[in-house]
Structure 1
Amino acid sequence: MLVNKVSDQIKKSKYISRDLSWLRFNYRVLDQARDTNKSIFDRLKFMAITASNLDEFFMIRVGSLYNYIDYGKERHDYSGLRELPFRKKLLDYAHRFVNDQYLTYSNELKPLFSKHGFDVLQVEELTEIEQKKVDSYFKNTIFPLLTPMVYDNYHGFPLLMNQLLTFGVVTRTTEEQKAQDRVTFVQIPGNLARFYEINRKDKIIFVPIEEIIRWKIKKLFRNVEIVSVNLFRITRNGDFTLEESDDIDADFVQEIKVKLRTRKKGRVVRMEVERNPSPLMMKILKERWVIDNANVFTMASLIDLRSLWQIINHRQFKERCFKQPPPVTPLSLPAETVDMFEYLKEHDVLLHHPYNSMEPVVALLERAAEDPYVLGIKQTIYRLADQSRVTAALLKAAENGKHVSVLFEVKARFDEERNIKEGERLEKAGCFVIYGISKYKTHTKMLMIIRKEGEKVTRYVHIGSGNYNEQTARLYTDVSLLTTDEVYAHDVSEFFNVITGHSRPNEYKYLLTSPNSMRQQLIELIRNEARNAKKGLKSGIVIKINSLEDKEVIDEFYKASKAGVPIKLIVRGICCLRPGREELSENITVRSIVGEYLEHSRLYYFHNNGESKVYGGSADIMVRSFDRRVEALFLIANEELKREAINILHYNLLDNVNSYIMREDGTYLKKRPAANEEVIDVHKLFYSRAYSTEVVEAELV
């Protein structure tokens, strides 16, 4: 009865649960691993991504839920469920996903390994000569790094690290004619490769490190009886929020460093364990970590599928993975090489990554660092690549005596340490570095180069949806704008003054910003479409984002739908809106695009009775984007570039290869081309240029 009541409550709600919606998104990623048209290595890549996604989900979303449960705070999910019933529903769904994930790995992928030149084998399946190699590797490399940590009446419970493979070894000794069972923990060092590699003539053999240790476990436990050997892995709560503070002198860098240390000790929210674990060990761990069977995931095979990256990235297999085409020249740039400083004085440029390279932006920054006429550079940084050319250019600019101001967001999840380190490097070089803004996370992506040209100063502006990361720019779809237009330059200058100083501009002409006004400005744009629809005028909204979660905006979409506004939403991940519900959202459709590239671009189109407005930028429709982040959306004012942006939306709506259509109940249906229908794969189309660049705007809505 209780199960039916919970299900009914979820169905009746006009909102979809954010967390359940995310798990459905990970199913769409798992769908890529099941795609037999992809190579085995690409399928393994998506399998590894589902594992990474799930790790983050447990650390952050399940961790956040436990913040409420552990401290007795009330929480209502969008479905209306309180924290404990929702916990049960969420973890039940997670168990279902993990079961499907491992069935895919064991039944669909693993049987293909051998015929593609590799295999994952146990030590017992190796030849005698291979076993001798493994034995030598254990003695010389693994054994010296292992530290058994016993837990008994004389030894406290050890700190077991987040997401490291751990053996729980139950041993027995006879003391004073009484058998004593004890549990000893052995963590596998995270700096060792997950697989030991053996080259055979016809294939590469990958031997899991845990199986090597299991094979030699007696070397760690001499003269005692080993009762059981149990492999497990824990995930700890990684969700933390900076204390709200009005103290502008607070040392946020030190605060983040403290939080990073506490992350290692966060409460356990998930335990993955191999089959038939020791009852004694499980009793101890459940009591110690205050978890129950809902938190325990019994794994049928390889624990931590992220380790598949070692196989995917192996030098022998890289040629067999997905081949990314070379980038094409942006529509707004000539094919021949141009002087970007000169070109941008007369033309705006819209970049659509990864189809267009990030090179024009990075090259412009590198040239600015050396250019004698450049006076200063201002930039916001959220995530950077390893050995970043962006950092190198900023360091060079500072060395050359230019004024360099950088806002480094040290609260960029899981990149905190890297950003602190890079920020400190820039500080030492003489850059003016700001580490975030009080209680807000700076997520906007902006760059300004100030250059003296004769008697005047020209400001070169770059603003977009993607990070200044050369690596992810090849894998994420994003849009960005390069311009010297004075309106953008004025707005961006004012915005930098706000985020680096203490300024409150009256208004921006081309920017919508948060945390102050973005939600209300978007709501007004939606209401304007509803007013036009009620007057019998043409109306329409098309929005492409990563996530849709903010209730206030969702409610405005519902009202606009009732007024007759056609609303087409392209939402890659979380979507809390219910499309197609009678008398609520009949005029709203939602699709998700999941494929070779991670859809990261945000574009907002409003028909505006024929005077359409299109915005790009960093913000999704989420509470955090409006209330807890510094974000910016930029109006695409140039008519030619606006048509390019509309073109991007148009073909995203036509895609029938990577698209999933969301149904009213929150489930998704894979879109497939009909028998006589043209196949449109946007992840190939924008490289090929085999499409019309003159889209009729009426086709969009």
Structure 2
Amino acid sequence: MGKAKKTSKDINLNAPQYYFNRELSWLEFNRRVLHEALDRRTPLLERLKFTAIFSSNLDEFFMVRVALLKEQFQAQINRPTIDGLTPQQQLEAIYQCLHPMVIEQHRYFEQVLRPEMASHGIHLLNYIDLSPEQRSYLQQIFQKKIFPVLTPLAVDPSHPFPLMANLSLNLAVVVKAPNTGEEKFARVKVPNILPRFICLPQELQPQNGKLNHWTGVAVEQIIAHNLEVLFPGMIIKEYHLFRLTRDADLELAEEANDLLLAIQQELRRRHFGGSVVRLEIQPSMPSSVRQMLMAEMELVESDIYEIDGLLNLKDLMSLMKLPLPELKDPTWTPIIPPRLRPFLQSRKIANVDSQKTSIFSAIQQKDLLVHHPYESFSCSVEKFIAQAARDPNVLAIKMTLYRTTGDSEIIGSLITAAESGKQVAVIVELKARFDEENNITWATQLEKSGIHVIYGIVGLKTHTKIVLVVRQEGEDIRRYVHIGTGNYNAKTANLYTDVGLLSCREDLGADLTDLFNYLTGYSCQESYRKLLVSPVNMRDRIIALIHREIEHCKNGNSGQIIAKMNSLVDSQIIAALYEASQAGVKIDLIIRGICCLRPGIPEVSENIRVISIIGRFLEHSRIFYFSNNEQNEVYIGSADWMPRNLDRRVEAVTPVEDAEIVQTLQNILAIMLGDNRQAWELKSDGSYVQRCPEQDGAELCAQNILMEKTQQLSVNQLFATL
């Protein structure tokens, strides 16, 4: 007799074979970033930008994720993750996966991008290839501007091995005493205060009849070829570049009496105190120097990455400033949301009643969706807060700030509101990784202006993106809200795709009031009218929505889920999605980064499709669609489906109840799912395959389509007002 076929109930959906490793999935995301640098369809300077982003991403990956795994390994914590890998196995897999990727990145830069730059008049020269006149000029620059800030540090019995800063670029120098022949080792740091690339004047740029826009030399090469000035009387035997990466994740005792002081102390430790987790060197470094560095930094071979060529390619980002639009993506200027245009324009006209023509009037008419960077952040969200700050009828403004800029209009508006006597409360997340120092600066500025600044809840990060404005309207109080997916940051609003809801629905206003009381006081709020809030009820509510789709299928109806987010890691939600797939629910996931769900497995996830879109804008919006037996429910908010978002962060996701906005969000998701230019499909083996148009088919780039549609809406609105 043959074996009985397994039923869905017999399958253990928590088994390791049904999950991808989080860290390896992230590396696959960064591989897709690297592909944009390799793709000749991408304009040249944009390819340099993606090369820089790939390197910058890796820096953070090592400082946080690899550092954590090394800590676990050293502490002999061998508990496997849900995919079955121990910390040691993950570290080995990371090295095996990443090493060839880094080699490919640097080889492509040196062999393809660098020559292509030169063909377009962008010359990044090697010092050894310079003419005598060019060398003479750079020697003068060295004497006047570089030499005074350099500090050579000897290493010998009286000079211990120097403490080196995180992400520092250094020269390991071997010198020899001419009298005794004794060899000595010294380290020279390439100071961060110096420009990475020193530009040659126009008259010294290549004059070979070719186009010249910019010619420069890496500063470390200028230092390396002038070392005799730093070590007079010594013979420079050899020098070798290296760069180190430290554990930079803050270890906070949140019960500290002064969280602000605790973070400031930890920031100092980040630069010098964390253990070294990666050493980047050049292949020419001899074994003696290599072994000495490894011993002093307590490293093993798998921590070493040999780089053939320029180290720290993230500094290529500076070349994006070159005024060469033909080598960049076409310029995009966000439009004013059509519904807001009449209200913003009318306020500039004399004798117009500003109480009837403010953004508040637009929101009173109906809910408003804003979609950045297609629609202007400054002419929507910033204007909403600015008008609230200056409106005499506004009594209070409350908002969360996770990442912003100190010179933003929002900071100025909040200060204006407080100075005019309004109640202003701001929840500032001091633990926003790598923005802590910036956040401390402007949080202190807000406090000095009389604003109530709260640093969040012990043990939780406040990641939610919410604003609450309380306004007196006649005898009544009305609450206006903004609930979004992105940070209140005008700079990233031009680079990240995000959506936000502006509304004055009473139940949302009441929910945000309760949520702010939870953040600022001792509230133990456990239920909300509309909002899905973590760590209170979000995971349970999401799983309930998934199970509802399952019930529709079991009852003979159809079920469908479309979810767009940054990352999918939470095993409980993944298991629920597997159950939904088994029940026949059709599931489309648009996951930019990490995805631990394994699609396309027979009898487990064959009804699940996963794509990732990597383009000129970073896909950051979180949109969740449930068909609910054709009643169509859509949610937006700040949370990915990850344990950290559901358990260790304060997040808010709101239902969208305006039928027109629901349709708009469905259209956005449909455009994303139809992308065949920058979309990658995740296969059941963990690989991603980039989509391409079918033969003679049209190229469909979701981000380009959304720009075109947004521009057309703007034109239609303009004609409607003529």
- Into which bin does the TM-score normalised by the smaller protein fall? over 0.9
Q: Deviations over 1:235-268 (max 9, x none)?
A: 00112343354x7xx3211111122111122111
Residue identity in the other structure for 1:188 = V
Supply the distance in 1 between the matched residues of 2:342 and 2:675 (Cα, whole angstroms).
27
Give 1:168 deviation, angstroms: 0.8
Supply the distance in 2 between the matched residues of 1:191 and 1:678 (Cα, whole angstroms).
48
- Count of paired positions: 677
Alignment-derived partner of residue 463 in structure 2: 443
Matches within 5 A, 1:27-46: 27-46=31-50
Alignment-derived partner of residue 7 in structure 1: none
User: Which one of the candidate residues 341, 352, 355 is aligned to 2:374?
Assistant: 355
Indicate whether 1:206 and 2:213 are aligned.
Answer: no
Matches within 5 A, 1:523-672: 523-672=543-692
What SS class does the counterpart of residue 689 from structure 1 fall into?
helix
What SS class does the counterpart of residue 364 from structure 2 fall into?
helix
Indicate whether 1:521 and 2:529 are aligned.
Answer: no
User: Which one of the candidate residues 61, 64, 67 is aligned to 2:65?
Assistant: 61
Supply the distance in 2 between the matched residues of 1:319 and 1:649 (Cα, whole angstroms).
31
Alignment-derived partner of residue 680 in structure 1: 700
Q: Deviations over 1:586-610 (max 9, x none)?
A: 1100000101110000011111112
Cα contact 2:340–2:359 (8 A) shared by 1: no
Supply the distance in 2 between the matched residues of 1:473 and 1:205 (Cα, whole angstroms).
32
Residue identity in the other structure for 2:268 = R
Task: Provide closer, same or farther for how the CA distance between residues 605 and 107 of structure 1 changes in structure 2, counting only shifts above 3 A.
Answer: same
Bigger shift: residues 282-291 or 185-194: 282-291
Residue identity in the other structure for 2:185 = V
Give 1:369 deviation, angstroms: 1.6
Cα contact 2:526–2:536 (8 A) shared by 1: no
Supply the distance in 2 between the matched residues of 1:71 and 1:226 (Cα, whole angstroms).
42
Cα contact 2:335–2:710 (8 A) shared by 1: no
Give 1:333 deviation, angstroms: 4.8
What SS class does the counterpart of residue 629 from structure 2 fall into?
helix
Cα contact 2:170–2:188 (8 A) shared by 1: yes
Give 1:324 deviation, angstroms: 3.1
Indicate whether 1:167 and 2:167 are aligned.
Answer: no
What SS class does the counterpart of residue 238 from structure 1 fall into?
coil
Alignment-derived partner of residue 194 in structure 2: 192
Task: Provide closer, same or farther for how the CA distance between residues 334 and 428 of structure 1 changes in structure 2, counting only shifts above 3 A.
Answer: closer
What SS class does the counterpart of residue 380 from structure 1 fall into?
strand
Alignment-derived partner of residue 93 in structure 1: 97
Give 1:389 deviation, angstroms: 1.0
Matches within 5 A, 1:56-455: 56-173=60-177, 180-198=182-200, 199=202, 200=205, 202-203=211-212, 204-243=214-253, 245=255, 250-264=257-271, 265-314=273-322, 316-317=323-324, 320-330=327-337, 333=340, 337=345, 339-358=358-377, 359-385=379-405, 387-455=407-475
Cα contact 1:333–1:349 (8 A) shared by 2: no
What SS class does the counterpart of residue 229 from structure 2 fall into?
helix
Give 1:26 deviation, angstroms: 0.7
Give 1:520 deviation, angstroms: 1.2
Give 1:114 deviation, angstroms: 1.4
Supply the distance in 2 between the matched residues of 1:253 and 1:690 (Cα, whole angstroms).
43
Q: Deviations over 1:31-78 (max 9, x none)?
A: 111121222111111111111111111111101111212223234234
Residue identity in the other structure for 1:299 = I
Supply the distance in 2 between the matched residues of 1:506 and 1:515 (Cα, whole angstroms).
10
TM-score by length of 1: 0.93
Supply the distance in 2 between the matched residues of 1:85 and 1:689 (Cα, whole angstroms).
47
What SS class does the counterpart of residue 177 from structure 2 fall into?
strand
Residue identity in the other structure for 2:367 = D
Supply the distance in 2 between the matched residues of 1:609 and 1:126 (Cα, whole angstroms).
70
Task: Provide closer, same or farther for how the CA distance between residues 419 and 639 of structure 1 changes in structure 2, counting only shifts above 3 A.
Answer: same
Bigger shift: residues 124-133 or 180-189: 124-133
Supply the distance in 1 between the matched residues of 2:442 and 2:456 (Cα, whole angstroms).
14
Alignment-derived partner of residue 8 in structure 1: none
TM-score by length of 2: 0.91
Cα contact 1:228–1:278 (8 A) shared by 2: no
Residue identity in the other structure for 1:357 = S
Q: Deviations over 1:585-634 (max 9, x none)?
A: 11100000101110000011111112222110000010100111010101
Give 1:100 deviation, angstroms: 1.4
What SS class does the counterpart of residue 81 from structure 1 fall into?
coil
Alignment-derived partner of residue 477 in structure 1: 497
Supply the distance in 2 between the matched residues of 1:96 and 1:476 (Cα, whole angstroms).
29
Residue identity in the other structure for 2:265 = V
Supply the distance in 2 between the matched residues of 1:208 and 1:631 (Cα, whole angstroms).
44
Residue identity in the other structure for 2:263 = I
Alignment-derived partner of residue 6 in structure 1: none
Q: Percent identity?
A: 38
Alignment-derived partner of residue 698 in structure 1: none
Residue identity in the other structure for 1:69 = F
Supply the distance in 2 between the matched residues of 1:254 and 1:506 (Cα, whole angstroms).
32
Supply the distance in 1 between the matched residues of 2:422 and 2:326 (Cα, whole angstroms).
43
Supply the distance in 1 between the matched residues of 2:571 and 2:391 (Cα, whole angstroms).
48
Residue identity in the other structure for 1:278 = P
Cα contact 2:124–2:216 (8 A) shared by 1: yes
Alignment-derived partner of residue 514 in structure 2: 494
Give 1:224 deviation, angstroms: 2.3
Supply the distance in 2 between the matched residues of 1:317 and 1:192 (Cα, whole angstroms).
24
Cα contact 1:16–1:79 (8 A) shared by 2: yes
Instruction: Calculate the aligned-residue CA RMSD, in Å.
Output: 1.9
Supply the distance in 1 between the matched residues of 2:412 and 2:583 (Cα, whole angstroms).
53
Supply the distance in 1 between the matched residues of 2:125 and 2:25 (Cα, whole angstroms).
36
Supply the distance in 2 between the matched residues of 1:334 and 1:169 (Cα, whole angstroms).
62
Cα contact 1:18–1:78 (8 A) shared by 2: no
Q: Deviations over 1:619-658 (max 9, x none)?
A: 0010100111010101001111111111111111111111
Q: Deviations over 1:487-529 (max 9, x none)?
A: 1111111111111111123521220000122111111111111
What SS class does the counterpart of residue 509 from structure 2 fall into?
helix
Any gaps of 5 or more consecutive residues in structure 1? Answer: 1-10, 694-701
Supply the distance in 2 between the matched residues of 1:612 and 1:425 (Cα, whole angstroms).
45
What SS class does the counterpart of residue 610 from structure 1 fall into?
coil
Supply the distance in 2 between the matched residues of 1:261 and 1:128 (Cα, whole angstroms).
43
Cα contact 1:332–1:350 (8 A) shared by 2: no
Cα contact 1:388–1:470 (8 A) shared by 2: yes
Give 1:344 deviation, angstroms: 1.2
Supply the distance in 2 between the matched residues of 1:334 and 1:395 (Cα, whole angstroms).
26
Cα contact 1:546–1:571 (8 A) shared by 2: yes
Alignment-derived partner of residue 467 in structure 1: 487
Cα contact 2:563–2:625 (8 A) shared by 1: yes
Cα contact 1:312–1:318 (8 A) shared by 2: no
Cα contact 2:358–2:387 (8 A) shared by 1: no
Cα contact 1:243–1:439 (8 A) shared by 2: no
Task: Provide closer, same or farther for how the CA distance between residues 519 and 227 of structure 1 changes in structure 2, counting only shifts above 3 A.
Answer: same
Residue identity in the other structure for 1:257 = Q
Cα contact 2:375–2:710 (8 A) shared by 1: no
Supply the distance in 1 between the matched residues of 2:535 and 2:117 (Cα, whole angstroms).
50
